[in-house]
Structure 1
Amino acid sequence: MTHDKSSISNVSFFQRYQLVFVFLIAFFVVEIPFISIPLKWFESYFHELSHGLAALITGGSIVSIQLNIDGSGLCTTQGGSRLLISFMGYAGASLFGYGLVRVSTMHQTVTKVFIGALSFVIATSLVLWAKDILTIGIILFLLMFVTLKLFYFKKAYLPFLFQLTGATVVLNSIKSPLYLFDGRSLGDGATLAQLTFMPEFVWVVIWCALGMMTAYLLIKSHLSRQY
């Protein structure tokens, strides 16, 4: 395959490596107190939602989703596969982060379908599973942010905001599993260790690897579109 050299040269250095810069910005933003909290809400929501969806897919049900102001959360489920439910929290967050980044550059029609479907899922979780005022407020904030893409998709700043949000979700899905090394044998890693007899350390490595692979695939895909 041959490339048009003139078209390649017209792509600026920033445009070519834009997503790399976005991930670098996200890396520092997630460490800034207060500013990082709304971005952590996305990762926490997608983490808990992934638990819930795994329960639904495997024949269980969602009792409630709870989100806290500090970015932590809890999804209470009944039935379903404990193994898949426990595994999908961090893995699902990586997938949702991937989707948020990719939707920023998708064709307009595909973008509207994706955002419409995501908005429906968020609205459903708000109506059915948000039981306390704080969780309702946080999910409302997330829903309003996502629907901005539907009504203001032509705004130049929205792709960057979605890329930044998706990048922080991916980075948090890499960083968050490391907190399981607290010596308390609590959380998804401990549950999986009990179910599979594989050490918690192995599951943390798998989740971190999935997050890093997600970031790599996003950046690789972006760079390939510049040539």
Structure 2
Amino acid sequence: MSFLRGHWQLFLLLALVFALWRTPVVYPLRIFVIFLHELSHGLAGLITGGSIVDISLDPREGGHALIRGGNRFITLSAGYLGSLVLGALILVTALRSRADRAALALCGAALLIVALLWVRTPFALIFCLSTGAIMLAAARYLPHQAADLTLRVIGLTSLIYVPYDIFDDTIRRSALQSDARMLAEEFGGATVLWGGLWLLLSLGVIWLCLRHGLGAQSNIHFGRSATEGGKTAGTP
């Protein structure tokens, strides 16, 4: 019961995200997680010596990142797992630090930079530019607690969406041309093997995130000043 009292807001946010999953309310969050997926492919390509040619998002919740060079194995593996790690970092930042506005501004800046450098398709360009501008404005003008809440919603959405997407794309519908299928075609193994491995790794990342991110109490205390931060979970 004490655990529920200490984290009831997160449980409520989780329930709301589930309840509104197929509504326009959560749709931009799902597209943002897809953006993190494609960005992770791109970052993996850059880190392993390649270059990003193009990043695109699809309104039907798809996307692609065209990478030239780099380590193909790492680049293919980075999409699902990288987006989950980024989402977990966003959630832990909200739960355990006072850098909520800075993190929100960083997300907004990343959207704008990617849009200017690598995005060419209309939907992706409109989404990245508008969402990036909104995030920067939110980081500047929202109260600290509201910025904290925004990051929590983004992080929770990533933690929900990525494992579901791995299961749906690589196990339930293994015939799809997914990252796991391309990995199987190029490096051996079956699509469901790589998908299953990624699913296990994603669940492990979620467990580590919750274990080290929650603390004894994670509720936001609205009404406190920004200097107090409105959270107690930031103290290890």
Could you tell me which amino acid in structure 1 is paired with residue 123 of structure 2? Answer: L
| Runs of at least 5 residues in structure 1 that lack an aligned partner in the other structure | 1-8
Q: Which residue of 2 aligns with 1:150?
A: 139
User: Which of 109, 119, 136 does residue 125 from structure 2 map onto?
Assistant: 136
Could you tell me which amino acid in structure 2 is paired with residue 66 of structure 1? Answer: S
Q: Which residue of 1 aligns with 2:196?
A: 205
Aligned in 2, Cα 1:62/1:155: closer, same or farther, shift over 3 Å? same
Q: After alignment, is 211-220 or 196-205 more displaced?
A: 211-220
Q: Deviations over 1:104-145 (max 9, x none)?
A: 23443x445444443333222111101022111111233134
Q: For residues 166 and 159 of structure 2, what CA distance do their matches in structure 1 show? A: 12
Tell me the number of residue pairs that the alignment of Structure 1 and Structure 2 aligns.
216
Q: Secondary structure at the match of 2:56?
A: strand
User: Which of 83, 99, 102 does residue 93 from structure 1 map onto?
Assistant: 83
Q: Which residue of 2 aligns with 1:5?
A: none
Tell whether the 8 Å contact from 2:55 to 2:119 is kept in structure 1 after alignment: yes
Tell whether the 8 Å contact from 1:39 to 1:168 is kept in structure 2 after alignment: yes
Q: Secondary structure at the match of 1:75?
A: strand
Q: Secondary structure at the match of 1:34?
A: coil
Q: Which residue of 2 aligns with 1:195?
A: 186
User: Which of 32, 38, 42 does residue 48 from structure 1 map onto?
Assistant: 38
User: Which of 11, 15, 18 does residue 27 from structure 1 map onto?
Assistant: 18
Residue identity (%): 22
Aligned in 2, Cα 1:222/1:21: closer, same or farther, shift over 3 Å? farther
Could you tell me which amino acid in structure 2 is paired with residue 95 of structure 1? Answer: V
Q: How big is the shift at 1:99?
A: 1.9
Aligned in 2, Cα 1:12/1:106: closer, same or farther, shift over 3 Å? closer
Q: Which residue of 2 aligns with 1:3?
A: none
Q: How big is the shift at 1:191?
A: 1.5
CA RMSD of aligned residues (A): 2.6
Tell whether the 8 Å contact from 2:55 to 2:64 is kept in structure 1 after alignment: yes
Q: For residues 109 and 214 of structure 2, what CA distance do their matches in structure 1 show? A: 31
Q: Secondary structure at the match of 1:59?
A: coil
Q: For residues 146 and 50 of structure 1, what CA distance do their matches in structure 2 show? A: 19
User: Which of 22, 26, 50 does residue 36 from structure 1 map onto?
Assistant: 26
Q: How big is the shift at 1:218?
A: 3.2
Q: For residues 97 and 23 of structure 2, what CA distance do their matches in structure 1 show? A: 35
Tell whether the 8 Å contact from 1:100 to 1:165 is kept in structure 2 after alignment: yes
**1:172 and 2:161 are equivalent in the alignment:** yes
Could you tell me which amino acid in structure 1 is paired with residue 86 of structure 2? Answer: F
Q: Deviations over 1:40-67 (max 9, x none)?
A: 1111100001011111111111111111
**1:60 and 2:57 are equivalent in the alignment:** no
Moved over 6 A (4+): none
Tell whether the 8 Å contact from 1:93 to 1:170 is kept in structure 2 after alignment: no
Q: Which residue of 2 aligns with 1:80?
A: 70
Q: For residues 7 and 175 of structure 2, what CA distance do their matches in structure 1 show? A: 44
Could you tell me which amino acid in structure 2 is paired with residue 214 of structure 1? Answer: V
Could you tell me which amino acid in structure 2 is paired with residue 118 of structure 1? Answer: C
**TM-score for the superposition, normalised by structure 2:** 0.80
Q: For residues 12 and 57 of structure 1, what CA distance do their matches in structure 2 show? A: 40
Pairs within 5 Å for 1:1-20: 13-20=4-11
Tell whether the 8 Å contact from 2:52 to 2:68 is kept in structure 1 after alignment: yes
Q: How big is the shift at 1:153?
A: 4.8
Q: Secondary structure at the match of 1:184?
A: coil
